[in-house]
Amino acid sequence: MTILDGKATAASVKQSLKVEIETLAERFGRAPKLAAVLLGNDGASETYVGAKVRSCKEIGIESLLIRESENISEDELLLIVNQLNTDDTVDGILVQLPLPKHINEERITLAIAPIKDVDGFHPENLGRLVLGVESYTPATPLGIMMLLSQYKINTEGMHAVVIGRSAIVGTPMSLLLSRNSAPGNCTVTLAHSRTKNLKELTLQADLIIAALGKPEFLTADMVKNGAVVIDVGITRVEDSSSSKGYVIKGDVNFTEVSTKCSYITPVPGGVGAMTIAALMKNTVHAFIRRNTTADI
C-alpha cells in the first residue's frame, strides 16, 4: 500500500509555480493577484482562507483578503464582487463558501466574472468543463487529478465510484474521470444519498472517491483488495482530549481501509493540500489568460 502524499506533492507543484511566477512577473511587469472574500468568523472557513493566503505569499502571488461581517447584505456583497471584477490588478476572485443563509449563493457565484472565477463554480466554467474546453476546474477535483498524475496511476478502464454529487466536487470529479485523457478514461458511477446497495458498487470499484462529508463512512468491508481510495472528507469532530476541542476526520476509515487498498490519501495531508495547490494553479492560469487573451 502506498500513501498518496498530498502535502509533498502540493509543495512540489507550488515550487514549480513559484518559478513560473517569477518569469511571468518579469514578462508582464507585475505578479498575479488573488482576492478572497470571507464573511463572518466560522473557524473552518478561517482556516481554509488563511491557508490560501499563506500559499499565495509562499509562491509570489499577491493576495487581497476582504473580511466582512456575516450580516452584510446581498447587495453589499454584490458591490464588492463587482468592484473586484472591474479591478484590473485582480486576476482571481473567490468568495469563501458557505455563505450566511440570507445570501443567495447562486446570485453571488453568477456575479463573479468567469475569467476571474478561479474556483470554477460559475455556470460558464462548469459548462466549459462539460464540453472539455479551456476553463477553470474546481480546485478539489483538479487537485485529485494532479495527485493521480504525480503517482502515475493508470486509471484507463477503471471502474470509478464517486460518492457524493456536489457541484463543487462529486459532479466535476465524475466528468474529469470519464474524459478521454490521462488520468481519465474511467467508467464512472456517481453515487449519492439515494443510491441503493452502495456497498455492491464500491466492492466493484477500482477507484473510490469518497466525497460525502460523513466521517469514517467508508469501511474495509466496502473496498475491494487493491483499490485506489481518495478521501475528500474533512469534518471537524468534537474531541475533548484534543487541545483544539476537535479532531479532523476524513470520509474513510483509514486504519481499516489502508490494509486493503493499493493507494490511499491520508487526512490531513492528502486532498486538502492538493486543493490549495490547484487553486494556486488556477490563479496563475487566470493571470496568463488575462494578460494574453485579446478579448478580455
**Interface ranges with ligand GUN (CB under 6 A):** 94-97, 119, 139
SS3 of residue 92 by DSSP: strand
Pairwise CA distance, residues 96 & 80, whole Å:
13
| In the complex, least distance from residue 248 CB atom to ligand GUN, rounded to whole angstroms | 14
Tell me which of 119, 206, 231, 251 is the catalytic residue.
119
For ligand GUN, the closer CB: 3 or 97: 97
Pairwise CA distance, residues 117 & 122, whole Å:
7
Tell me which of 5, 14, 33, 52 is the catalytic residue.
52
| In the complex, least distance from residue 122 CB atom to ligand GUN, rounded to whole angstroms | 12
Residue 64 β-bridge partners: 35
| In the complex, least distance from residue 42 CB atom to ligand GUN, rounded to whole angstroms | 10
| In the complex, least distance from residue 174 CB atom to ligand GUN, rounded to whole angstroms | 17
Annotated active-site residue 96? The verdict is yes
Annotated active-site residue 204? The verdict is no
Residues near 191 by Cβ (< 8 Å), separated by ≥ 6?
A: 161, 162, 163, 164, 165, 198, 201, 202
For ligand GUN, the closer CB: 21 or 95: 95
For ligand GUN, the closer CB: 92 or 183: 92
Residue tagged 489568460 (cell numbers): 289
Pairwise CA distance, residues 57 & 51, whole Å:
10
Picking from 169, 174, 206, the residue whose alpha carbon sits closest to that of residue 189 is 174
CB 70 within 8 A of CB 269: no
CB 200 within 8 A of CB 151: no
Pairwise CA distance, residues 33 & 278, whole Å:
15
Instruction: Please give the residue whose beta carbon sits closest to ligand GUN in the complex.
Output: 97
For ligand GUN, the closer CB: 189 or 233: 233
Tell me which of 5, 96, 116, 281 is the catalytic residue.
96
Annotated active-site residue 83? The verdict is no
Q: Is 189 left (phi over 0), alpha (psi -120 to 50) or beta?
A: beta
Q: At what angle do helices 271-292 and 139-150 cross, to 10 degrees?
A: 110
For ligand GUN, the closer CB: 93 or 160: 93
Report the catalytic residues: 52, 96, 119
